[in-house]
Amino acid sequence: MNIICIIPARGDSKAIIGKNIIDFCGKPLIAWTIQQALGSHYIKDVYVSSDNSEILTISEQYGSKLIERPKDIARDESTSEEALIHAITQIEKNTDETIDLVVFLQGTSPLRDSNDIDSAIDTFIKDDLDSLFSVCDLKDLMVWRNIDNVLQSVNYDYKKRQRRQDIQQQYGENGSIYIFKPEIIRKHLNRIGGNIGIYLMDSWKIHEIDNKEDIGICEYFMNTKNLIKINKS
């Protein structure tokens, strides 16, 4: 089975300049994700898709193959799906090989290891899925939304507050791991479709780096959960 990993990494981040290559626990941030993918027993090749030459240079130094992303799909309003479809097309054209599965990892979600990736792939294959995404348990979170300044409870009825153990299982997409067949994203223009499954991760793995405040939080878990040592082995 030909399983590849694609890591989209746009250069023009706003909240943190150069976010994908900031120093994070002694390495460029994206390096952790590249090395996690390279440590998988299933993934044949790891590709970084970027419009930024510095990101591409650093990614190659850490063992990734490269996809140069056109500027017209690297704008603020561009989607990950656009980058993924472009990368899949380029890889199949350049290798003359059919891709069976794509593992899509975000370089700004470092709180995972190679075992997470392989366990997610195991689930995908065992359950005969078309797409899969990683999640964390949301049972402890009481979610509300504001519609036209009217507050509404989303995942529970506040008028009939339940005990924690009686709340129905609910999950939050944590953005760490996505797996899909290429035909799914081409048909639906979405990484999720067909027979959908999930891979449950520890609750602390819901954190990702979007803002400066997130860096310290993720560094804390990288150190206290021994991920630095695990990802070096």
Class of domain 3-135+172-232: alpha beta
**For residue 126, what pLDDT is reported?**
98
pLDDT of residue 113: 96
Q: pLDDT per residue over 114-126, tens digit each?
A: 999 999 999 999 9
Query: What is d(CA 110, CA 22) in angstroms, rounded to the nearest whole number?
Result: 12
Tell me the CA distances in angstroms from 129 to 45, 132, 141, 179, one per residue in order: 21, 7, 28, 9
Tokens 């949301």 — which residue?
A: 138
| The dihedral sign for the CA sequence 189, 211, 25, 74 | positive
What's the pLDDT at 140?
76
Q: What is the pLDDT of residue 24?
A: 97
Q: What is the pLDDT of residues 57-90, one digit of tens each?
A: 999 999 999 999 999 999 989 999 999 999 999 9
Model pLDDT, residue 142: 84
pLDDT (0 to 100) of residue 233: 60
Rounded Cα–Cα distance for residues 20 and 106 (Å): 10
Q: Identify the segments of the chain with pLDDT beneath 70.
A: 233
pLDDT of amino acid 92:
96
